[in-house]
Every structure is written in C-alpha cells, then in structure tokens.
Chain A
C-alpha cells in the first residue's frame, strides 16, 4: 500500500482552487477613508495656503549660503560620528577590561558625557578658554613640556567637533558594549582555543559579529547627529544649515518658510542615510541569515517579473 501511495504523490493530480467568500473588514475601510480624507486636506492646504511660501523656498533652497550650510552640517555629522565611533569602541573595550582603572575611567567618561546636555557641553567647550587659558603637556604636578594657547587651539569648529564627538562617544560606547556582549561566549572560546590573543579575537571574531547589533542603533545615532548639529549655535558656530536658514528667514521677515526649507534638507539627508544603513545592515547579515535580504532594486525587479507573469 505504501508503495502505491508513493507513486501517487508526484503524479499530476487535480488541484481545484478553493472558492470562498473572503472575510470583509468594514472597520478597516472606514479607518482608511478617514485617513485618506485627512491626507487630502493636508495636501490641499500645503499647496494652496500662500503662507507656506513655496516660491520663497524654491528661490533659496539651492542658494550658496544654504548649500554651504548643508556642507558644514554634513562635515560636522561625519567627523563627529567618526570621533564618536572610534572613541566609543575604545571606551567599550576599556569598560570590559579586567583592569579596574581602565573600566572605571570608561565608566566615568560615559557617566559625565551622557549625563549632561550636549548643548551645555558645546557651550563649555567653546568657553573652556575661560577655565584654561593654556593647555600644557607634562607630568602631573611636575614639569611641563609643551604649552598651547587655548584661543588658537580650539576655534569654533574644533569646539563643535569636541562637543558633538565626545558626547556621541559616550553613547556609542554603550552601543558597542551591548554588541560585544551579544556575541556568544563560545565564539571567544573557540578563537582562544585556536591560539588567538584577546585583541585578535576581538578584531576578527567578536567585533564583526557584534556589528549586526551595533549598526542599527548607530544609523539611528547618525540621523540624530545630523539634526543635533543645529545646536552648535551654542558655541557659536554659525555657518551650519539651520543657523543660515533662520538668518535668511529673519532678514526677509519670513522665518517660517525658511525653517520648512531647512527641514526639507534634513529630511533629504536623513533619507540618504537610511538607504546607506540598509546596505550596511545587509552586509553584516552575512552568515546570520540563510539568504541575504533583497536590495530594493532586486525587490522591484521581482515585483515587475511577478506582475508580468500575472498579466
């Protein structure tokens, strides 16, 4: 009997499709209709209310001071994130060190920089000159070898980088630490058993796997950083995007359209960052998924192919 049924399975059998009346969801339709009407109202007001100042926005959105502001904002974001990431990794490794001086120092750094507002930190860096007129390198309580004047050492841009980068490092340290802790202990054991040192294990085995956990919140942090750069007015550093936009707005007595314009730029830039994040996440998914998720282009191709088949 079993032999018979086996023969049956691969043979062509009729597959009459199930014909049933689908369940109706009237609640969902009502909800969708309300949302659609609200969206249409919003769109209508966006297009017809002259106070949005679309013509003003289109006149200024690609103007030289704004483009320069965008450039400074991007540069600040990238450099601060690099400082944050590198220092964050160092702090995370220190925090996990068996040496209490190293882990204690890292803890204190994170405590101080995560525990105060970044706006205040920016202000403090700009005014560190008030605390120390000179910075010197030497033995504590002993002779000094090198001396710098803080006025020349810390111009506004450097103060902005210090404020944003060090604050970010405190957050990144915790993100990296969570990533390292998420890697299975057996990984470290296997690497150790092969004769790898602690640093080799960290670099070749643990960190690449930790990246899967580290990348999504880091993307989040980068997007957040892009917007936080608007706080460097605390220094004051005035050539970034938002300050430029509001300065123009104040000059024209049209602050609102200019703020909208700055928002459009921020949205555009964060959209680009989101795309980048998707591809980085996909890269580090290697080995954690049987098959890599498709890129948006692959998704579209697949959809087109399926649509073609149905038509």
Chain B
C-alpha cells in the first residue's frame, strides 16, 4: 500500500484512541463528586484505559486501538458528613477515588499525543499533495 496513504490511516487510529482516552478523563472529572444514595453505598470508581497495537493484515500496517476500559482499585477516601444520604452509622461518606491532578496530567498527555498524530497526518497529506502537484 502507498505509505503516504497508510500514514493517514495510522495517525487517524492514534487520534481516535486519544480522543477515547480524553473521553474517559472527562467522565472521571465529571463524576469526581458522584457518591452513592444509600447509607454506605460505593461512590463513582475511577475508570482507566489501556491501548494496544493492532495489525491491519490487508494494508500491512500497525495501528493502535483502545485495549480495555477498566476500573481503578484504589480505595475510596472517607469524608465526615452525617447529613449526607450516603453517610454510614458513624457519619462517614465514601468519596470517589478520582484524583484531579492525575486527571489533569492525563488530559494534557492525551491532548499532546492527539496533536502529534494530527501533525503526522498533516505531514503525510502535504507530501502526497506535493507529489500530485508534480503532474501539473
């Protein structure tokens, strides 16, 4: 297959994977304050994402895809809030294990990686269009 054409395909798979990662980050950030509704209920558990390589047999190129969207096993923290509907008999509410700093770092990385893939896509497109311009 035309390498310049496959660059577009590969970079597009990277961009897709990174946008899924950003989606997970957004879900984590949005749900950082989600708690249970019944006494002692579990709050939102942070989601994790992994990537894996995938070989396109037909085009003979290695691309990336989202491997698994899992759950973070980190224990929940407790907050003293007796009036909360999810408070247990001692007045403690379980708070989700989302760490805003970690999510921010993750967001930055996803955004930078998306940008890198975008630049590759653009470079491939430009090279291809310059090659076609030779026909003129």
Binding between chains A and B: no
B residues contacting A by CB (< 8 A) are: none
- Where the two chains meet, the residues of A that have a C-beta atom closer than 8 Å to any C-beta of B are none
